[in-house]
Every structure is written in structure tokens, then in C-alpha cells.
Structure 1
Amino acid sequence: MNKPRSFEKLWRKRFESFATNAEDDAGIAGWSPTGLDARLRKFKEIWNSNNNILKKKYWLDAGCGAGTYSRFIAKQGVDIVGLDYSFPSLQKAIAKGEESISWCVADINKIPLKQNYFDGIICFGVTQALDDSANAIEGLSMIIRPGGYVFIDALNSRCLPHIWEHFSRKIRNKPIHLRYETVSNLHQLMRKNGLTNIRLYWLPILPARWYRYQWIVETRLTKWVFRHIPFFGQLLSHAFIVSGQRPQDIA
């Protein structure tokens, strides 16, 4: 099913509308509160379990929305730039009072920042609103410095509910409202742009009405199953995070 040509323009308007009409981080970003809670908790887990990440001092939050992740990273004693193309979103982010964060209004498809500068980049909640992920990954790969990490999340196109939604919209001749992504495509794009040490983190998120059972999909056993039997992670995870590292320059 083809996306309408105005897909990205529609999403830009939506994000501006979200920010204008909401005060909470989830509402500004267009997520449910439970969905944002699960996503942030997963990123904290990744951050706290990776000593290499903790050594990185200059970070970019590309598509920062209300600044949820930017504020978390800033509290780790790290310099962080929050970038978003929605000026209303940045206004709400700035109003939340974290003065150590720098803010930038820009489109992720045309990032006006210095190449080889950042030690770490996150790009969360963005790819589902893009025509494709290629331009974003190319741009992010250019501004990460050797040894730096790029983290990108996406909605999982192989998740059973998403497969059903796609089929349902197709038979009703309705255009897609979100763009789903595959792990293999993000892997390929990262490798194409010179990123290595690529890792996958499955992100299962239960619907809000079932969220009291979210802890089940976050147990060590479930994580082990998803890691060692990716087929289950693919079918049952609402989203995923892929990280890649730019190789160190060889002198």
C-alpha cells in the first residue's frame, strides 16, 4: 500500500497539534502515557547496562518532542542537544525547565549540525512519521564521531497486531497512518552508512487496558526468550530499538 505524498507533512501538522493541545510528555509526543513509560524504562535499562555509553559526553536527541529522553540524559551529567522540527513541541520542552539542554529547531532529513561531533545519538518516535528511514540514518551517521553510538527505534512491522492492522486497512482501502519498519531494513541502512557493532533490543508494549501485566513481558525470562528466539520477539514486540557504532579511526 502506497503512502500519500503528503505523509510527512500530515505528521508534522499532527505533532504541532499534539504539542498545542497537550501538556504532558506523552500527549505532546503522540504516545499513550503507558507506551512512553515503557519506552523510557527500556532506554534507561540500556543506558544503565552499557558502560561504554556512560562514557559518552555529547549527545543528540533527534526528534526530542517534549524532551523526555533529553532530560534523562542531561541528569546523567552529559551535554545534550534536543532537536525537533515542531516548534510548539520545543516550546513545551523548554518550559519544563531543564536549563542545561540546548535546543534546535530542524528537520531530521536535513540536520544542520557539525559532522563527527556527537558521541551518542538517540532517534526515538520518529521513523513512523517518515516516508522512509534512509535519509535520517544517513544524516545521523554523518554527525556521529568515531566510536560513537546511534540508537533508533521503530514500530515493528512483523508484530501480529500490526500485520492485522495493515491487512485491515488494505481491504478497506484506507491509507496507512503510521509507517512500520523491519529490523533487517534498519540493519542494512546502518551497515550501508558505515555503522558496525549493531545490536537489537525488542520492545514489547501491551495496550493500555492490559498495562498492569506489562511486567510479564519485561521479566528476565521473556527477555531471554526474545534474545535467543528472535521469532517470538518479532511476532510479539510492538517496537524495537537498533543501535550501531561508528568504528574508531585507525591511525
Structure 2
Amino acid sequence: MAYLVHTAHAQLGALWLGLVGWTLTAMALGLIQWRVWLVSDREVISSGVAWVGIWRACFHSYTSVSPGLRILHCQDIGLTGTFTPPEIRTGQVLMLLSVIVGLCGNAGGVYALRNVYFGLRKTPPIRLAFIIAGVLCLSAAVMSVVPLLWNLSSVVTNRTIKFPPEFKMPPAPDSQHVGYGIGVGMVGTVLMVVSGITFCTYKLPAGPEEVQTVTNPQRGLTSPGGSDNPSFEPHEQIDQFVL
């Protein structure tokens, strides 16, 4: 059996990067601070700051409070809402798919590394497993980067959203800037790209000289490196020597 642990150190690091990237992507999915609106009229928006995410729009208020919240007013942004802009609809769908596909990619990385560290007689599935994991991680990164860049562009061009009256949002902000929800998502996307590329670049040893194996013919076992200790011999040989 081939000893392949020394060939997958980079992929082990890629798995950690992929897990961190997936976690950040999932965090960005739930954050409301994708767009930060600054308004001068503080009659309802007491702090003068409103946050627009891909699922909710919220702001601090002492006059309009959502049930269960102390001074925070929030309204859900629906996928089928007539006012919902296309970049937010796209974000709701693709970010959720990115989290699911990224989870599958990391699971594929765990499976491939399990085969490497615990041994597998048929080595081609290891390479295939790493490629599948890498493709899934890269696909997840592409799915997340599209809505992230689209919403980033909307902030830079100062596009507004025609919220319904119950949102109590102004028709347009005085100014707006990028929230850390987009920043967190971008960092997660970069980590997923690095992880996916590293998974795809895994290579099996080219020849027998690159595979570390030691076989014990008495037991049919393979161990990584080292040599047999002559002090440990089968009992039959010891008995023959004494006789």
C-alpha cells in the first residue's frame, strides 16, 4: 500500500482555507450590512444610518420598533417582491447556492484527505476526489463573487431602491458606502478560490521511487518508512535457533 501523506500537505492547508472561506461566505449571507445608507432626516431613522442586506433592511429607531427588538426596525426583503432589485434577487439565490456547493466541496476535500492519510490501495480515486472538491470550491466562489461584485457596483454608482411604505426607508439616501458584509464575502470568496486551485493541483507520485512503502512479508502489512527490527522475529524461528 502506498504511503502518500507527504504528498498532500498543501491540500491539508487548502482544506483549512476552504473551511474558513465557507464560514465567511455563510456569515456574509446573513449579514445586513451590505449597503450602508446615510440619511439626514432622523425623524424615523434616529441614528441617520440604515443597513440594506440581501434579506433585510434595518435601522435604529426610537419611534418605529420591530416586535421583539428594542430599538431596531427591520423588514424582510422577499425574493418575489416587486421592489426587490435584480442584484439582491441574484444574491439571495447565488449566495445560498454558494454555501451549499462550498460545503460539498469541503466535504470532498475531507474525503480525499481521509483516503490519503488512512491509505487506499487504488490511488486514482484520490486524484479524482481532489479534482471534484476543487471544482466544487471554485464553483462556489464564482457563485458568490457575482452578487458581491454586482452589489458593490450598485453602491459605487449610488443606485437607490424603491422600498414600500412599511419599510419607512427614504426614497434615496444622501450617500451610501459598502458595508462589511460585502467585504466578508469577498475574503471568503478569495479563500475558496485558493482552496479550489490547490485541490486541483494535487499530483500523485510519478514513480515508485517517490512512494514511501515498506512491506512486512510475514504479516502482509505496509508501513511508512523504516526497516524491520531483527530483534522481533517469529516464535518459530526463535525456537529453531534454540534447538
Answer yes or no: same fold by TM over 0.5.
Answer: no
> Could you state the TM-score of these two structures normalised by the residue count of structure 2?
0.23
Normalized per residue, which structure has more strand? 1
Q: Report the structure number with the largest CA radius of gyration.
A: 2
> Could you state the TM-score of these two structures normalised by the residue count of structure 1?
0.23
